[in-house]
Amino acid sequence: MTQSVIPVNLPQNAYEIALASDSLDRLGSWIKSLNLGRKLMLVSNPTVFGYYGKRAVASLETAGFEVHHHLFPDGEEYKTLDAVSQLYDAALEVGLERNSTFIALGGGVVGDMTGFAAATWLRGINFIQVPTTLLAMVDASIGGKTGVNHPQGKNLIGAFYQPSLVLIDPIVLGTLPEREFRAGIAEVIKYGVIWDADLFRQLEAAKRLASPSDISNQLLHEILMRSCQAKAEVVSQDEKEAGLRAILNYGHTIGHAVESLTGYTELLHGEGVAIGMIAASRLALALNLWSAEEDARQAQVIGNAGLPTTIPPGVDIDAILAKLQTDKKVKDGQVRFVLPTSIGHAIVSDRVPPDLIHETLASLQKETVQT
């Protein structure tokens, strides 16, 4: 059995990412080693809980924990303060205490909301991430970003709050819809472009990346480990996004805007990021930051993963530009972009000319990128 333990070396809140097949059945013993309180609240959604709830609960109860559970409705549209408020009620009902623990078993929505509840219930209780989507495994579950959406923008309400443990069991990807798998691959490609050229080359070599069946177990473990390492390294150097961490937003500036303008229903987050990476690459090309060949290589890998590469018809370019102004990353009115400078490296810039943004977006709406 392949097992990796990846440290997240934060100065005040160090923790580990445990990555191993069938680790879900060892969840209880992992948590026991952390010396937390006896009471746990497992938080999930009906779909994921239906697949894996029993195994998780059994493992926790065997380890001697008092286990309660709460289910959020399934979907990004329920990532609201209201839904978190219902989790508060459940926490009160079962009497969670300061040494109690919330466990998020699910994708990014469950993880972000449960983390926010953990950050804010009794001013902060223990929190453990058990991500069940590829996207959550390689991104959302690591680094302590928690929160909910505001009707007018994603993740506008939230907190930085680190988990005590992230436990990843790749086996659970077997029940993940293929479209969501591909959306997760978008973030993996991101790490290749901004941080880990070797990971990028492995993705290139794989040719097809559109389904788990395209990828060997060994490559999957490698993808998970390298992505988690990339995230952990960046976050350890800049927990609160004062500098370096901003590069993780590669593809997210345009991605968030397009997701938002399609009502968070048409595109998955990773699909928005794929479109955003195509756009950012074009901006970098126009600014002579990187080459047409690198732009094409990235487009090829994104295409191999079956991800979208154009802006959906019906999304107005001026509306995207307006939306960019409400992005959390706007500073004194300047929109920040992450731009690649070579495979494995990226920079942050708030000096992209608005005209160029407009032109680039327009070009991504009319054409279909050839891959």
State yes or no: is 221 an active-site residue.
no
Q: Which is nearer to a second copy, 51 or 160 (CB)?
A: 160
Q: Which is nearer to a second copy, 152 or 213 (CB)?
A: 152
Q: Given the residues 226, 256, 282, 336, select the one marked as catalytic.
A: 256
CB of 263 to a second copy, least distance (A): 18
DSSP 322: H
Q: Tell whether 269 is in a known binding site.
A: yes
Q: Tell whether 75 is in a known binding site.
A: yes
Task: Give me 103's structure tokens.
Answer: 């466990």
State yes or no: is 180 an active-site residue.
no
- 295-304 b/e (C-beta count within 10 Å ≥ 16 → b): bebbbbbbbb
Q: Give the residues lining the site for a second copy (CB under 8 A).
A: 12, 37-38, 81, 85, 88-89, 92, 95, 97-99, 116, 119-124, 145, 147, 150, 152-153, 155-160, 240-241, 325-326, 328-332
Q: Tell whether 111 is in a known binding site.
A: yes
Q: Given the residues 180, 187, 239, 259, select the one marked as catalytic.
A: 187
DSSP 33: T
Task: Give me 78's structure tokens.
Answer: 């329920």
Q: Given the residues 45, 149, 249, 304, select the one marked as catalytic.
A: 249
Q: Tell whether 259 is in a known binding site.
A: no
Q: Given the residues 69, 70, 221, 269, select the one marked as catalytic.
A: 269
Q: Which is nearer to a second copy, 332 or 355 (CB)?
A: 332
Q: Tell whether 110 is in a known binding site.
A: yes
Are 146 and 159 spatial neighbours (Cβ–Cβ below 8 Å)? yes
State yes or no: is 328 an active-site residue.
no
Q: Where does 193-267 show beta strands of DSSP type E? A: none
CA distance 55 to 202: 33
CB of 321 to a second copy, least distance (A): 15
Q: Which is nearer to a second copy, 51 or 88 (CB)?
A: 88
State yes or no: is 26 an active-site residue.
no
CA distance 156 to 148: 7
Are 339 and 346 spatial neighbours (Cβ–Cβ below 8 Å)? yes
Q: Tell whether 66 is in a known binding site.
A: no
CB of 87 to a second copy, least distance (A): 11
Q: Which is nearer to a second copy, 37 or 212 (CB)?
A: 37
CB of 330 to a second copy, least distance (A): 6
CB of 139 to a second copy, least distance (A): 16
CB of 93 to a second copy, least distance (A): 9
CA distance 102 to 43: 7
CA distance 157 to 143: 17
State yes or no: is 256 an active-site residue.
yes
Q: Tell whether 74 is in a known binding site.
A: yes
State yes or no: is 187 an active-site residue.
yes
Q: Tell whether 345 is in a known binding site.
A: no
Give phi and psi for 345, each to the nearest 5: -145, 145
State yes or no: is 231 an active-site residue.
yes
Are 300 and 290 spatial neighbours (Cβ–Cβ below 8 Å)? no
Q: Which is nearer to a second copy, 151 or 174 (CB)?
A: 151
Q: Given the residues 69, 70, 145, 221, select the one marked as catalytic.
A: 145
Task: Give me 263's structure tokens.
Answer: 């009502």
Are 252 and 276 spatial neighbours (Cβ–Cβ below 8 Å)? yes
What does 269-292 look like in DSSP terms, one character per residue?
HHHHHHHHHHHHHHHHHHTTSS-H
Are 261 and 33 spatial neighbours (Cβ–Cβ below 8 Å)? no
- 260-274 b/e (C-beta count within 10 Å ≥ 16 → b): bbbebeebbbbbbbb
Q: Which residues are annotated as a binding site for Zn(2+)?
A: 187, 252, 269
Question: Which of the residues are catalytic?
Answer: 123, 145, 187, 231, 241, 245, 249, 252, 256, 269
Q: Which residues are annotated as a binding site?
A: 74-79, 108-112, 132-133, 145, 154, 187, 252, 269
